[in-house]
Each structure stands twice: as C-alpha cells, then as structure tokens.
Amino acid sequence: MTSITLFGLCAAVLIGLGVYGLIVNPQPLRKILAFNLIGSGVFLFFGMIARRGAASGLGGDPVPQALVITGIVVAFSATALAVALLLRLDAAGGPSGLDDAVDGES
C-alpha cells in the first residue's frame, strides 16, 4: 500500500465519520463541525487525486490543488455563516438551538 492510497482511504473514513456526526450529534454547533469534517475529507480525496497526477517535475496536478484552495475558503465562509446564524438564534431566545425537533408545524 502506498502513501497515496493510505490518504485516500483516510479521506473516505473522514467523510463517513462526518456524515455520522452530522446525523447523530444533536447540537447544531457539532453538526457544523461534522460538516467541516466531511468537507476536509472531500478536499483530502481531491488532494489524493492531485498527488496521483504527479508528472514531469510537479509533485501533484496543480488544477485540483488550486480547486482545493478555493474549496477550503468556500467551506470557511459557509461555517462562518452557519455559526453566525446559530449565535443569532441563540440570542433571539430560540429554545437551545434545537433545530431538528420543530416538525410540529406540519
């Protein structure tokens, strides 16, 4: 097994862990955290693919590497928005920020 495959498998497990956490953890902040885990797993997967594409002196395919950078910044803005929304909900007196127990309207 090479290092590249190893990190590929690592990414696969990270994504699984993140999905599990997103579903199971009741606290919204933990869901946001889990989303970040999924995101980093996806980026790592892309990094693995980039590394596989190494050729002619470059350690990796620069196209996916560049996309990962864009992706990381986008994921950060998503996190910032989600956290702000959560804090605002908390300040507005939402009951414990529980977001999944409000199906009662239907």
Partner 1 sequence: MTTSGGPLLVAALLLPLAAMLAAFVLGRAQAPRVVACALPVGLLLALAILADLLCSGEALVYLLGAWQPPLGIALRADGLSAAMLLTTTVVLGVVAWFAWGDFAQPANAPEARQPLMFWVLLPAVWLALNTVFLANDLFTLYVALELLTFAAVPLVCLEGRPETLRAALRYLLFALLGSVLYLLGAVLLYGVYGTLDIAQLSTRVHPGVATWAAAVLMTVGLLAKTALFPLHLWLPPAHAGAPAAASAMLSALVVKGSFFLVIRLWLDVLPGEMMLEAGQWLAGLGAAAILVGNLVALRQRRLKLLIAYSTVAQIGYLFLMFPLAAGLVGMGLSDAPAVTGGLLQAVSHATAKAAMFMAAGLIYSTLGHDRIEDLQGVAQQLPMTVLAFALGGVALVGLPPSGGFMAKWLLLSAALTTGQWWWAAVMVIGGLMTASYVFSVVVRTIVAVDPEKMPKMAVPRYREASVLALAIFSFLLGCVALLPFEVVQVGRLGSVLP
Partner 2 sequence: MMAGLVLDGLLALLVLAVAAWTIGVCQTFAATVGFTVYGLLLAVVWMRLAAPDAALTEAAIGALTGVLLLRAAIQLAPSEAGLNRLRPALKLRLLAGTLAFAITATLAAVVFHLPEPAPTLVPQVTAQQASTGLGNAVTAVLLAFRAIDTLLEAVVLIFALVAVWSLAPDAAWGGIPGAQIKGGSGDVRAYLSRLLPPVGIVIAFYIFWVGADFPGGKFQAGTLLAAMGLLATMAGLIQPPPVASRGLRWALVLGTLVFLALGLAGMPLAGAFLAYPEGWAKPLILLIEAASMLSIGVTLGLLVIGYPAGQAEQ
Residues in 30-49 that interact with partner 1 by CB under 8 A:
31-32, 35, 38-39, 42, 45-46, 49
Q: How far is CA 55 from CA 52, 61, 89, in A?
A: 9, 8, 50
Are 38 and 15 in contact, with CB atoms under 8 Å apart? yes
Interatomic CA distance for residues 96 and 16, integer angstroms: 27
Write down the least CB distance from residue 103 to partner 2, Å. Answer: 15
36 binds partner 2 (CB under 8 A): yes
Q: Which of residues 62-91 bind partner 2 (CB under 8 A)?
A: 62-63, 65-70, 72-74, 76-81, 83-88, 90-91
45 binds partner 2 (CB under 8 A): yes
Comparing CA positions, the residue from 3, 99, 105 lying closest to residue 48 is: 3
55 binds partner 1 (CB under 8 A): no
51 binds partner 1 (CB under 8 A): no
